[in-house]
Amino acid sequence: MSEASFDKRLRSRIGRVPALIAIAVTAALVLAACGGGSSKTTAGNTGPTSPAYTGAAAAGDPIKVMTIAAVNYNGPSYANILTTASLAEKWFNSHGGVAGRPIKVTTCDEQGDPNKLAACGRQAIADKDVAVIGSFTLNGESIIPELAAAKISWFGICCAVVASELSSPIVQQIGSGLSLTGGEVVKAVQDGCKKIALLTADAGATTQFTITLVKNALKSANGPELAATVLVPLTAQDYSAQVAQATNNTDCIIDGLSETTNPPFLTAFASSGGTQRLYGAQGNLDAKVARPFAEATEGDVVVGSYSDISLPAWTDYRSAISQYKAPKDEDYNSLGGLGTWAAYVVFKQVVESMTGTIDSATFLAAAQKAKVTFSGLSTGIDFSKPFTGLGATFANAFNRAVTYDIIHNGELVPFEDGKFYDMTNAMIGTPLAPADLPPGGSPYSKSK
């Protein structure tokens, strides 16, 4: 597959982020003010418990960083990413800072415009930012070369969209990306699904990549042959035909739709009386999607890169959301929100492992060899070990573990207390070890 085809494949998979990669974040988010402190927002113009951050207030010269996402945009917008970056600044600075120093976060709204994104990058360079953290864009090729030339890390992204984000040495991806497809399939097999349909956007030749990932995962989990492949036109308005295909003599559906295309599908699905269990990605099949279709989505499975926000690992994040009165209309239990918070947590880890000067070049060098832990937010990553299972194009697929939520009454409920399962073998089609197989079954039955 060409890099151009791969880019298209990932764009369709991401949807509206969370959706995680694979994956979209949330729909119809509004721009939130960053609040006081040293944060500033530009409009594209230039299991375990969470760590206990204690100690004296941060002091000294600030460590400057940036977070980028599209907000004021008539396409996919991710206000929760910029809000979370501002929350991280306030929380860390009131709990000892980073290496004892305050962190100064600039948030940049790239408005879905490659030129504005490049301007954000130039601002980060001019401001001598140490890193660009926890960001998301559909236009990564407009900023990666600039950051690479300046030796600035594109650090802690949840979701690689363009080829360079999966191969450039300045990128440290923490989301599990393509592993989510394998996680969906493996859980379906473990749940006893015998006639599995794949529902995915019709992205031409790139759709074959999705089908390959599904077939690899079926093989790795000793599952059945794929019973049906249902392609959804990118411009579809009525999903009745696709629902009929996906529910014809099947028992489960791998839901490859985005947060914006799932609602029209579920409207037709609910009307048809379908009882198949859906398996979708974090942020694509999320609470915003499920609430209006609580009966139709009861017992469905959500596969994620990050554990559920209700778990102890996210205590600090929940506290920051509450303490600093974050906008209530944003989705924080998503790839965008969870991923950005996790990115700041591991940024702090990397900085505090360093000695000597802290600048973009020294941070990048430290990040490239860092081993980071997430204390239940996600799974540990060794950035010194690129992934080789699918070739150099996928080198930055460092995190290949997934976790699960089950939908109950339109809300997400953690499965197995947020335990993670390694889907490396599912990606490449080799047998999974018993420890990598999630338990079958669900505490909630599919609606009848």
Length of the chain: 448
Q: Check if the beta carbon of residue 3 is closer than 8 Å to that of residue 393.
A: yes
Report how far apart, in Å, the C-alpha atoms of 84 and of each of 28, 150, 305, 327 are: 17, 26, 17, 10
Pairing of strands 371-372, 381-382: antiparallel
pLDDT of residue 110: 97
Q: What is the pLDDT of residue 5?
A: 40
Tell me the C-alpha distance between 289 and 300, whole Å: 12
**What's residue 6's pLDDT?**
38
Burial label for 133, CB within 10 Å (0-12, 13-18, 19+), is buried
Residue pair 149/156 in contact by the 8 Å Cβ criterion? no
Phi, psi of 417 (to 5 degrees): 55, 35
Q: Say how far apart CA 363 and CA 354 lie, in whole Å.
A: 8
The residues near 357 (Cβ < 8 Å, ≥ 6 apart) are none
Convert 300-329 into a string of H (helix), E (strand) and C (coil): CEEEECCCCCCCHHHHHHHHHHHHCCCCCC
Asked whether the beta carbons of 208 and 419 are under 8 A apart, the reply is no
Taking the CB of residue 244, how many other CB atoms lie within 10 A of it? Answer: 13
**What are the φ/ψ torsions at residue 382 (nearest 5 degrees)?**
-115, 105
Q: What is the pLDDT of residue 334?
A: 87
Measure the N-to-C terminal CA separation of the chain; round to a whole number of Å.
Answer: 41
- pLDDT per residue as tens digits for the range 352-372: 999 999 999 999 999 999 999
Task: Look at residues 335, 381, 341, 414 and name the one whose alpha carbon lies nearest to residue 50.
Answer: 341
pLDDT value of position 350: 98
Domains of the chain with bracketed CATH = 3-177+310-383 (3.40.50.2300), 179-304+401-436 (3.40.50.2300)
Alpha carbons within 13 angstroms on the beta-carbon side of residue 35 total 20
Q: Are 34 and 40 within 8 A, CB to CB?
A: yes
H/E run at residue 131? strand 131-133
Element spanning 54, H or E: none
Instruction: Supply 125's token pair.
Output: 């360079």
pLDDT at 54: 52
What SS3 state is found at 409? coil
**Residue bearing tokens 């509450």:** 322
Which amino acid is located at 372 in the chain? V
Enumerate residue ranges in the chain where pLDDT < 70.
1-56, 204-206, 447-448
Contact 173, 202 (CB under 8 A): no
Q: How far is CA 177 from CA 42, 149, 201, 203, 448, in A?
A: 28, 26, 17, 18, 32
